[in-house]
Amino acid sequence: MAGYLSESDFVMVEEGVSTRDLLEELTLGASQATTGKVAAFFMADLGAVVRKHFCFLKYLPRVRPFYAVKCNSSLGVLKVLAELGLGFSCANKAEMELVRHIGVPVNKIICANPCKQIAQIKYAAKHGVQLLSFDNEVELAKVVKSHPSAKMVLCIATQDSHSLSQLSLRFGASLKSCRLLLENAKKSHVEVVGVSFHIGNGCPDPQAYAQSIADARLVFQMGAELGHTMNILDLGGGFPGLEGAKVKFEEIASVINSALDLYFPEGCGVDILAELGRYYVTSAFTVAVSIAAKKEVLLDQPSREEETSSALKTIVYHLDEGVYGIFNSVLFDDTCPTPTLQKKPSTDQPLYNSSLWGPAVDGCDCVAEGLWLPQLHVGDWLVFDNMGAYTMDTKFLLGEIQAYRITYAMSRVAWEALRRQLLPAEDDQDAEGVCKPLSCGWEITDTLCVGPVFTPASIM
Ligand code: PLP
């Protein structure tokens, strides 16, 4: 083990204990003491992160994964990924500091923001972060001045017009502008060592990766003609984090592998990287949010007999978290978060048309509408799955504002798999074996966690 993660960083769970059991213990135990201070309790299954990594290695064996810290910079995630040997892609100084703080060497950090503040470039220079991305002349000039020995990665635009969120609206040089950028870098004695791209989130067509890999090949040729020694291809992120995603990870991987074979065949001397965010963490996090207030709204004037009918009223529930916080995917990724209830409703309980709203006093902070839920009460907990990506702001995680609580858990099976894969030769990449689901007890079970009430091992 490299020593980034130890058993005291998480709750070790045995088979059969579910994430929900752990969340229930946590919310029951902590709700009294923390009422009003903590808006959400996250339960993070670090075993799910480990499993994702093994799948990545299986399907993209030529690609060296970096983790995009902006996606979820909680310490447990950073530590488990550092332990697995990943590099880190940072967008700013705070993220570089965080990653350095857990002991990651600077040669495993890439500052992958093509438009940085000068202070961030100076920070990278001072601490020896060498790999920086850029996509325009102004950025190049800033680097010449503040970090002349940097090794630059040229970020190119992609065909992401069909992606849910399109990064190429803001980032990425067009192929036309690449030659001039490479020429100017050469004149300024700045080394350009590679090409990166990002196909955006929710790209419906994996061929977008193949197109960008082909574009990158052209830029490598331009670079070589101008005397740059380029040996890094960075495939960016955009890999799905949900198990049921429309385009499967395996499908994307297969397109990428074919394109790499064509344009960057094995032995070509190019180091292939990717900067994954949501892929690693989305499904690993479950969150419990409590109901802060509720209101019943009558849809029509009911007749006497109809007064209690569930169809005529809608129930508006107010949560302490909304679309400007952990549910921002509603605005940006067009999701519809659907909760499950911590207390299972009985089958004869009537269901009511219900909506969930966040704390902002405006008409946009709607988390979900048109849900059919039983009558719930202030203080009841709603549980949302797949909440690991882009849900937490770094400043919360740095402890500037105490709004979330995160408890990390990992099954013994996952822990052993993690430890074994770090011992060379012992496992010999038996990918089929290690890619089996590593349970943190994801299966919902009626058996409650027996034994002592656990104390969260790592709460930030
Ligand atoms: N790399 C860069 C430069 C990004 O901007 C992002 C996200 O915006 C990522 C990687 C991670 O993307 P994803 O979470 O889709 O994997």
Q: Which atom of ligand 1 is nearest to the CA of 196?
A: 3
pLDDT value for 450: 25
Structure-token pair, residue 324: 């400007």
Q: Which atom of ligand 1 is nearest to the CA of 71?
A: 14
Q: Confirm or reject: Cβ of 252 under 6 Å from ligand 1.
A: no
Ligand 1 centroid distance, CA of 178 (Å)? 21
The catalytically annotated residue of 25, 52, 53, 70 is 70
- Summarised one tens digit per residue, pLDDT across range 80-117 is 999 999 999 999 999 999 999 999 999 999 999 999 99
DSSP string for 364-395: T-EEEEEEEEE---TT-EEEESS--SS-S-HH
pLDDT at residue 451 tops 80: no
In this structure, the residue with its CA closest to atom 15 of ligand 1 is: 238
DSSP string for 383-442: EESS--SS-S-HHHHTTSS--EEEEEEEEHHHHHHHHHHTSTTTSTT-HHHHTS---SS-
- Residue 37 CB-density burial (10 A; 0-12 exposed, 13-18 middle, 19+ buried): exposed
- Summarised one tens digit per residue, pLDDT across range 326-351 is 999 898 877 889 898 877 778 888 99
Q: What is the mean pLDDT of residues 216-240?
A: 97
The catalytically annotated residue of 24, 95, 139, 275 is 275
pLDDT value for 455: 33
**Residue in the block written with tokens 């180091």:** 271
Q: Which atom of ligand 1 is nearest to the CA of 200?
A: 15
10-14, 129-133, 187-191: the lowest-pLDDT one: 10-14
| Residue to mutate (ligand 1; options 69, 71, 199, 256; most atoms within 8 A of CB) | 71
pLDDT at residue 216 tops 70: yes
- Summarised one tens digit per residue, pLDDT across range 248-272 is 999 999 999 999 999 999 999 999 9
248 in catalytic set: no
| DSSP 8-class letter at 456 | P
Q: Which atom of ligand 1 is nearest to the CA of 113?
A: 3
pTM of the entire predicted model:
0.88
Report the SS3 class of residue 186.
helix
pLDDT value for 433: 43
Ligand 1 centroid distance, CA of 69 (Å)? 9
In this structure, the residue with its CA closest to atom 3 of ligand 1 is: 112
pLDDT value for 438: 42
**Cα separation values, 235 from 80, 112, 212, 359, Å:** 22, 12, 8, 38
Q: What is the mean pLDDT of residues 221-239?
A: 97
In this structure, the residue with its CA closest to atom 12 of ligand 1 is: 237
How long a stretch of residues is the chain? Answer: 460
The catalytically annotated residue of 93, 116, 198, 228 is 198
Q: What is the mean pLDDT of residues 215-241?
A: 97
pLDDT value for 185: 98
Give the torsion through C-alpha atoms of 238, 242, 244, 247, to 10 deg: 10
275 in catalytic set: yes
pLDDT at residue 12 tops 90: yes
Q: Confirm or reject: Cβ of 201 under 6 Å from ligand 1.
A: yes
Angle of helix 207-225 versus helix 249-263 axis, rounded to 10: 30
pLDDT tier, 17 (very low <50, low <70, confident <90, very high otherwise): confident
70 in catalytic set: yes
**Residue in the block written with tokens 């798999």:** 417
pLDDT at residue 32 tops 90: no
pLDDT at residue 447 tops 80: no
Q: What is the ipTM of this complex?
A: 0.99
| Residue to mutate (ligand 1; options 198, 235, 386; most atoms within 8 A of CB) | 198
Q: Confirm or reject: Cβ of 63 under 6 Å from ligand 1.
A: no
Contact 154, 175 (CB under 8 A): no
Q: Confirm or reject: Cβ of 275 under 6 Å from ligand 1.
A: yes
Q: What is the mean pLDDT of residues 438-447?
A: 35
